[in-house]
Amino acid sequence: MKFRTLPGTDLQLSAIGLGCWAIGKTWWGDDVDDRKSVRAIHAALDHGINWFDTAPLYGHGHADTILKQALEGRPEALIATKVGIRWDGEGAHARSDLRPEHVVADCETSLKRLGRTCIPLLQIHWPCELDTPIEATIEALVRLREAGKIRWFGVCNYNATALAHIRKLAPPGLACLQTPFSMVRREFNHDLREVVAPAKGPHLGVLAYETLARGLLTGKYVGPMPPTFPTTDLRHRDDRFAQPVWGKIQPLVRALILVGQRLGVPPAALAIAWACRQPGISVAIVGAKREQQVAEHVRALELLQRNRVWQALAPHIEACRP
């Protein structure tokens, strides 16, 4: 395993972290099996993955429950979780509520559910949908840190303007931005890069999520027509799994399969390695339902320095640039 220190922190994270959304079951189809999820988490640990990204929303607590069970006796495993999303019932619309009292309550509930006394990294899950000033939310996070309940905090899904504002506040403990980023998703654009890695001033860590485009870049989903997902799987209404986007991405998927075959590596490893190599990206969060998928992900580490591979793939990646 390769490890990367998040700038300005003592968080030494494996280049790949295991994303636990699918393990929560809800929204990821009918084939998520708790015993296989536990085995996937154990496989991650065996491969040297030392951190796990979860959230209260993932299965409305179920991902946390499985994570706690699988990490029993492994206190050194780092957990990155989130705060701020509220829901009234499992089917109800979830919204971001960053009022300080909610942030504190969310953190306390997560500590209990995860069986921990301190959370290594607590992230704001989504920008607030109410009128709570970000200053008040950040202050609550700083207080949680002072109380020893969290070690570091971060934000997810913020744009360049909002993140620049937070960075100007310079709160002690701010460690990272979590943002979607893959060969087919580029929210992490030039403007965000300037904010996290300015020419002058300290850099901020960046955790890239959805590096496999929800499985699309693994080579499993290939062909002239998109697959059909059950309505329990959020991909049944993901436009990347529907025409015309499907057709646009397929040449890249075929290129990943071909190059992967030549090199003897799974296409997923290529997609993950590409993300990890991009300037400004600290580490990648990758989701998995089974141990075999985790075993494929870690093959990415073999590819980080293979420059000729990336030259061969560059035109295909460029053609899919959103």
Ligand X SMILES: NC(=O)c1ccc[n+]([C@@H]2O[C@H](COP(=O)([O-])OP(=O)(O)OC[C@H]3O[C@@H](n4cnc5c(N)ncnc54)[C@H](OP(=O)(O)O)[C@@H]3O)[C@@H](O)[C@H]2O)c1
CB nearer to ligand X: give 201 or 240: 240
Alpha helices by DSSP H, listed for 147-220, are: 160-169, 190-196
- Among positions 98, 122, 268, 281, the unique one binding ligand X when judged by CB under 6 A: 268
The phi, psi pair for 173, rounded to 5°, reads: 105, -10
The C-alpha R_g of the chain, in whole angstroms, comes to 19
The answer to whether residue 288 forms part of the interface with ligand X (CB under 6 A) is: yes
Q: Is 58 a catalytic residue?
A: yes
Overall residue count recorded for the chain in this entry: 322
Looking at the Cβ atoms of 41 and 286, the one nearer to ligand X is 286
Site residues for ligand X, window 193-212 (CB under 6 A)?
A: 209-212
Cβ distance to ligand X smaller for residue 9 or 182: 182
256 binds ligand X (CB under 6 A): no
Nearer Cβ to ligand X (2/236): 236
Query: Are 284 and 298 spatial neighbours (Cβ–Cβ below 8 Å)?
Result: no
Compute the C-alpha angle 143/205/295, nearest 5°.
115
Q: Rounded distance, CA 101 to CA 94, Å?
A: 18
Q: Which of residues 38-77 bind ligand X (CB under 6 A)?
A: 53
Instruction: Name the E strands within the chain.
Output: 3-5, 12-14, 16-19, 51-53, 78-83, 85-86, 95-96, 119-124, 150-156, 174-180, 205-209, 283-287
Contact call for residue 78 and ligand X (CB under 6 A): no
Query: Applying CB under 6 A, which of residues 67, 255, 259, 286 lies at the interface with ligand X?
Result: 286
Q: Tell whether residue 226 is a contact of ligand X (CB under 6 A).
A: no
Whole-number Å distance between alpha carbons of 258 and 70 = 36
Q: Tell me how far, at minimum, the Cβ of 199 lies from ligand X, in Å.
A: 27
| 305, 259 contact by CB (below 8 A) | no
Q: Does 157 bind ligand X (CB under 6 A)?
A: yes
Is residue 274 within the footprint of ligand X (CB under 6 A)?
no
Q: Which is nearer to ligand X, 173 or 287 (CB)?
A: 287
Q: Which region among 6-14, 17-25, 190-198, 249-257 touches ligand X (by CB under 6 A)?
A: 17-25
Size of the residue set binding ligand X (CB under 6 A): 29
Cis peptide before 56 (omega within 30 of 0): no
Residues with catalytic roles: 58
Q: Contact positions toward ligand X, by CB under 6 A?
A: 19-22, 28-29, 53, 125, 156-157, 178, 209-215, 218, 220, 266, 268, 285-289, 293, 296
